[in-house]
Structure 1
Amino acid sequence: MVIVSIIFNGVYCCLLQKIRAFIMSMEHVFPSDTLLIKKTKPQVIWICLLAALAGLLFGLDIGVISGALPLIARQYGLIDSQQEWVVSSMMIGAAAATLCSGFLAYRLGRKYALLIAAGAFCVGALICAGAVNPDMLILGRIILGIGLGVASYATPLYLSEITPKHIRGAMISTYQLMIALGILIVFLTNTAFSYSGNWRGMLLVVAIPSLIFLFGAFFLPRSPRWLMMHGRTEEARNVLIKLRSNMAEVDEEINEIKEQLQVKQQGWQLFKENGNFRRTVSLGIFLQIMQQFSGVNVMMYYAPRIFHEIGFTSTTDQMWGTVIVGFAMTVATFIAVGFVDKWGRKPMLYIGFIIMGLAMTAVGTLLDGEALSVLGRGITVTMLLLFIIGFSMSAGPLIWLLCSEIQPLKGREFGITCSTFTCHIAGMLVSASFLSLLNSLGSSNTFYLYASLNAVALLVIYLFVPETKNISLEQIEKNLMSGKKLRDIGQ
Structure 2
Amino acid sequence: MRYEEDENIRTTRPTGESFMSAVSTPIATPAHARATAIFTCILAALAGLMFGLDIGVIAGAQQFIQKDFGISDNTLEWIVSIMMAGAAVGALSAGWLSAHLGRKRSLILGAVLFVAGSVLCGVAWTPGVLIAGRFVLGLAIGIASFTAPLYLAEIAPESIRGAMISLYQLMITIGILVAALSNAALSYTGSWRWMLGIIAIPGALFLLGVAFLPESPRWLMMRNRQSEAEQVLHRLLGSNDAIEREIGEIREQLKTPQRGVHMFFQNANFRRSVGLGVLLQIMQQLTGMNVVMYYAPRIFQGMGYATEAQMWFTVIVDLVNVLATFIAIGLVDKLGRKPILHIGFILMALGLGVVGTMMHLGIHSHGEQIFTVGMLLIFIVGFAMSAGPLIWTLCSEIQPLKGRDFGIGCSTFTNWAANWLVGVSFLSLLNGIGNAATFWLYAAFNVVFIALTIWLVPETKGITLEQIERNLMSGKRLRDIGR
Q: Under a length normalisation based on structure 2, what TM-score does the superposition of the two structures give?
A: 0.93
| Letter in structure 1 aligned against 2:196 | L
Q: 1:253 is matched with which residue?
A: 246
- Please give the alpha-carbon distance, in whole angstroms, between the structure 2 residues aligned to 1:296 and 1:201: 26
Structure 2 residue 103 is matched with structure 1 residue 110? yes
Structure 2 residue 67 is matched with structure 1 residue 74? yes
8 Å contact 2:33–2:235 — kept in the other structure?
no
Q: 1:467 is matched with which residue?
A: 459
Structure 2 residue 194 is matched with structure 1 residue 201? yes
Structure 2 residue 469 is matched with structure 1 residue 477? yes
Q: Deviations along 1:35-64, whole A, 9 cap, x unmatched? A: xx9795211111111111111111001111
Give 2:50's match in structure 1, choosing from 42, 52, 57: 57
Match runs of 1:237-248 below 5 Å: 237-248=230-241
- Please give the alpha-carbon distance, in whole angstroms, between the structure 2 residues aligned to 1:193 and 1:44: 38
| Letter in structure 2 aligned against 1:474 | E
- Please give the alpha-carbon distance, in whole angstroms, between the structure 2 residues aligned to 1:203 and 1:130: 9
Q: Under a length normalisation based on structure 1, what TM-score does the superposition of the two structures give?
A: 0.91
Q: 2:204 is matched with which residue?
A: 211
Q: Deviations along 1:190-243, whole A, 9 cap, x unmatched? A: 000001110011111210111011111111101000011111112111110111
- Please give the alpha-carbon distance, in whole angstroms, between the structure 1 residues aligned to 2:331 and 2:197: 35
Q: 2:217 is matched with which residue?
A: 224
8 Å contact 2:258–2:401 — kept in the other structure?
no
8 Å contact 2:282–2:415 — kept in the other structure?
yes
Q: 1:403 is matched with which residue?
A: 395
Give 2:371's match in structure 1, choosing from 366, 376, 379: 379
Give 2:81's match in structure 1, choosing from 85, 88, 109: 88
Q: 1:352 is matched with which residue?
A: 344
Q: 1:43 is matched with which residue?
A: 36
Structure 2 residue 99 is matched with structure 1 residue 121? no
Q: 1:391 is matched with which residue?
A: 383
CA 1:316 to 1:152, structure 2 compared with 1: closer, same or farther past 3 Å? Answer: same
- Secondary structure at 2:334's aligned position in 1? helix
- Please give the alpha-carbon distance, in whole angstroms, between the structure 2 residues aligned to 1:241 and 1:370: 61
Q: 2:478 is matched with which residue?
A: 486
- Please give the alpha-carbon distance, in whole angstroms, between the structure 2 residues aligned to 1:265 and 1:249: 24
Q: How many Å apart are 1:458 and its aligned residue?
A: 1.0
- Secondary structure at 2:320's aligned position in 1? helix
Match runs of 1:304-319 below 5 Å: 304-312=297-305, 314-319=306-311
CA 1:265 to 1:146, structure 2 compared with 1: closer, same or farther past 3 Å? Answer: closer
Q: 1:19 is matched with which residue?
A: none
8 Å contact 2:33–2:234 — kept in the other structure?
no
| Letter in structure 2 aligned against 1:230 | R
- Please give the alpha-carbon distance, in whole angstroms, between the structure 2 residues aligned to 1:287 and 1:172: 16
Give 1:448's match in structure 2, choosing from 410, 425, 440: 440
My pick for the range that moved more, 321-330 or 366-375, is 366-375
Match runs of 1:114-153 below 5 Å: 114-153=107-146
- Secondary structure at 1:343's aligned position in 2? coil
The alignment yields a C-alpha RMSD, in angstroms, of: 1.1
- Secondary structure at 1:196's aligned position in 2? coil
- Please give the alpha-carbon distance, in whole angstroms, between the structure 2 residues aligned to 1:375 and 1:196: 30
Give 1:322's match in structure 2, choosing from 314, 323, 329: 314
Q: Deviations along 1:73-123, whole A, 9 cap, x unmatched? A: 001111111110000010010001111100000000000000000001100
Q: 2:276 is matched with which residue?
A: 283
Q: Deviations along 1:350-402, whole A, 9 cap, x unmatched? A: 00011001111111111112343111111100011111110000000000000
| Letter in structure 1 aligned against 2:398 | I
Q: 2:355 is matched with which residue?
A: 363
- Please give the alpha-carbon distance, in whole angstroms, between the structure 2 residues aligned to 1:264 and 1:126: 41
| Letter in structure 1 aligned against 2:426 | F
Q: 2:181 is matched with which residue?
A: 188
Give 1:342's match in structure 2, choosing from 330, 334, 341: 334
Q: Deviations along 1:295-345, whole A, 9 cap, x unmatched? A: 001111100000011111x11000001000110000000111111100100
- Please give the alpha-carbon distance, in whole angstroms, between the structure 2 residues aligned to 1:167 and 1:369: 46
Q: 1:13 is matched with which residue?
A: none
My pick for the range that moved more, 100-109 or 372-381, is 372-381
Structure 2 residue 323 is matched with structure 1 residue 331? yes
Q: 2:428 is matched with which residue?
A: 436
- Please give the alpha-carbon distance, in whole angstroms, between the structure 2 residues aligned to 1:426 and 1:273: 27
- Please give the alpha-carbon distance, in whole angstroms, between the structure 1 residues aligned to 2:261 and 2:200: 36
- Please give the alpha-carbon distance, in whole angstroms, between the structure 2 residues aligned to 1:378 and 1:371: 10
Q: How many Å apart are 1:413 and its aligned residue?
A: 0.3
Q: 1:274 is matched with which residue?
A: 267
Q: 1:425 is matched with which residue?
A: 417
Q: Return 5+ residue gaps in structure 1 as ranges.
A: 1-36
- Please give the alpha-carbon distance, in whole angstroms, between the structure 1 residues aligned to 2:110 and 2:372: 38
- Please give the alpha-carbon distance, in whole angstroms, between the structure 2 residues aligned to 1:95 and 1:294: 19
8 Å contact 2:183–2:195 — kept in the other structure?
yes
Q: How many Å apart are 1:264 and its aligned residue?
A: 4.2
- Secondary structure at 2:361's aligned position in 1? coil
Q: 1:413 is matched with which residue?
A: 405
Q: Deviations along 1:238-285, whole A, 9 cap, x unmatched? A: 110111030100111111111111224621001111100000000000
- Secondary structure at 1:132's aligned position in 2? coil
